[in-house]
Amino acid sequence: MRILLVEDDLPLARALHQSLRSEGFTANHVADAKSAMLTVTTNECDMLILDLGLPDMDGLTLLKQIRKNNNTLPVLILTARDSIEDKIKGLDQGADDYLSKPFDVNELIARLRVIERRLGTATSSTITIGNVCLNSASHQLSVAGQEVELSRKEFMLLKVLLEQAGRIQSREQLESKLYEWGEEVASNAVEVHIHHLRKKLPKAFIKTIRGVGYSVKAATSIES
């Protein structure tokens, strides 16, 4: 689950970013509407946490623009505007949830889990493509019914590729996922771990798109 945090209060954003990562989410942060719109339109996030008081555009205006192009991206508004009218306006503009500041981080995480379960990508889910089955809660991989050992970084890379099945992931995108999980990344780390993963997976399961990146064929089922 890739969360985009749109928040111009940098101390709050840093604290939230750390909390999200500690709970197992992949999180990215931007501080203005322009950067948020670019990230959303390039399909770089699965969920949005949106502050309304942005420096370059009102958050509700941004939400309205997002909904013109993407009617399914889950959006949780996180703002100091706490009147009933503000909440109704935010939900009417297309927000999935609304949390007023100040807030309890545990409540925020709980609300994100609800949205995550609804999307069918909760950490208790099993992602299956063909005879490859990855349990993202237990970090267990099975191929044709046989358990296969994975290193932590191999698990992270495979999870990203399975969740983005049918989409090409560049080396830079995969490296960024490792960084977001708090991993040190050597210059050739992705290539090395992909090489090791291929030895543990069916032939040609991970495809190389020369000069672009890697992908797996989209034929996914996710079960909670």
- State whether 105 and 17 are in the same domain: yes
* Boundary (domain end) residue, out of 103, 119, 135: 119
Task: Determine how many CB atoms are found less than 10 A away from the CB of residue 43.
Answer: 12
Specify the number of domains making up the chain: 2
Q: What is the dihedral of CA 119, 120, 121, 123, to 10 degrees?
A: 130
The string of pLDDT tens digits covering residues 167-218 is 788 888 888 777 655 556 677 888 999 999 999 999 999 999 888 889 988 6
Q: Which domain holds residue 213?
A: 126-223
- State whether 102 and 153 are in the same domain: no
Task: Determine how many CB atoms are found less than 10 A away from the CB of residue 54.
Answer: 21
- State whether 111 and 21 are in the same domain: yes
- State whether 25 and 115 are in the same domain: yes
- State whether 175 and 97 are in the same domain: no
- State whether 213 and 146 are in the same domain: yes
- State whether 105 and 162 are in the same domain: no
- State whether 107 and 29 are in the same domain: yes
- State whether 144 and 106 are in the same domain: no
Tell me the C-alpha distance between 223 and 186, whole Å: 34
Q: What percent of the chain has pLDDT over 70?
A: 90
Average pLDDT over residues 58-79: 90
- State whether 157 and 106 are in the same domain: no
